[in-house]
């Protein structure tokens, strides 16, 4: 009998290093940062302000390449240092859902159009994209604001629309940078639980940068970042060994 073929981890980041500036103003924002995330795994990345969390996440999101190190997604080498091995824009659109600290919605499109456009750019019809957008917005409690412009929504509502947009294409990788900062405790918890559900049910790999220690129980693994260096935290070691 043949052995089952095991699929490669969804994300393998190896020894990522990023410097900003040079000479006196040089900052090493990330140093030899490595992380492997499996399909269906949800990971928290904690750490003080300025420790390099956004630098790491934007590197994995193919937005802000590292100076050195490699990133493989779904078993394919995508970035080797600053060199792209794929067309980053189309790869990002197909495989990565990103939630920024600020919602970054397109101001002249309605909330639902902001979610739909992510799907329509990939060839999904207007009708099908509207149906999925409404389902996601309903789940996130913003369906009643579907036809409003972002400027008519609260910060928390805008962020929930941004989460719906990130999930729209069922990406294999979801990256979220403090997605619950603008939400109250209850909504924040719901969003974290939604990410966990998406990870476990759609087999997406999810990395969430968070300061919210109240929701750490939803994560499979927890990493900490300090002065650009990433380590696996005791919390996740305890959880794995339970
Ligand atoms: N574009 C940039 N130019 C110069 N330095 C930068 C730039 N972006 C980030 N840095 C520096 O790199 C370091 C890491 O920043 P980063 O934003 O990754 O940290 P962070 O952990 O995400 O912080 P926060 O929790 O406050 O968002 C900091 O010292 C920051 O000042």
The reported pTM is 0.91
**Phi/psi of residue 231, nearest 5 degrees:** -135, 150
Rounded to the nearest angstrom, the distance between the alpha carbon of 58 and the centre of ligand 1 is 11
CATH topology for 11-241?
Rossmann fold (3.40.50)
* Confidence check on the interface: ipTM exceeds 0.90, yes or no: yes
- Which pLDDT tens digit goes with each residue over 149-196? 999 998 888 988 999 999 999 999 999 999 888 777 887 888 899 899
User: Residues 47, 39: contact at Cβ < 8 Å?
Assistant: no
Closest among 7, 88, 16 to 41, alpha carbons compared = 7
DSSP tag of 52: S
Rounded to the nearest angstrom, the distance between the alpha carbon of 52 and the centre of ligand 1 is 6
- Which pLDDT tens digit goes with each residue over 86-131? 999 889 988 999 998 888 899 999 999 999 999 998 889 999 999 9
DSSP tag of 108: T
DSSP tag of 140: T
Ligand 1 pocket residue status of 20, Cβ below 6 Å? yes
Ligand 1 pocket residue status of 75, Cβ below 6 Å? no
């Amino acid at each position: 009998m043949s052995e089952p073929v095991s699929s490669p981890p969804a994300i393998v980041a190896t020894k990522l290093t990023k410097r900003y500036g040079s000479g006196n103003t040089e900052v090493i924002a990330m140093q030899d940062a490595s992380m492997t995330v499996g399909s269906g795994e949800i990971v928290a990345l904690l750490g003080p302000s300025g420790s390099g969390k956004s630098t790491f996440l934007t590197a994995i999101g193919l937005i802000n390449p590292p100076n050195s190190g490699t990133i493989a997604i779904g078993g394919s080498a995508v970035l080797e240092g600053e060199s792209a091995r794929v067309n980053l824009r189309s790869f990002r659109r197909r495989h990565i859902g990103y939630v920024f600290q600020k919602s970054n919605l397109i101001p002249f499109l309605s909330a639902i159009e902001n979610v739909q456009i992510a799907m329509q750019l990939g060839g999904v019809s207007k009708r099908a994209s509207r149906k999925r957008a409404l389902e996601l917005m309903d789940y996130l409690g913003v369906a009643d604001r579907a036809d409003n412009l972002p400027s008519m929504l609260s910060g928390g509502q805008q962020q929930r629309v941004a989460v719906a947009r990130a999930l729209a294409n069922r990406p294999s990788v979801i990256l979220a940078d403090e997605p619950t900062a603008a939400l109250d405790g209850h909504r924040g918890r719901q969003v974290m639980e939604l990410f966990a559900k998406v990870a476990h049910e759609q087999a997406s790999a999810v990395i969430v940068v968070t300061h919210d220690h109240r929701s750490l129980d939803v994560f499979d693994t927890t990493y900490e970042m300090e002065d650009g260096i990433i380590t696996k935290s005791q919390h996740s070691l305890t959880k794995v060994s339970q």
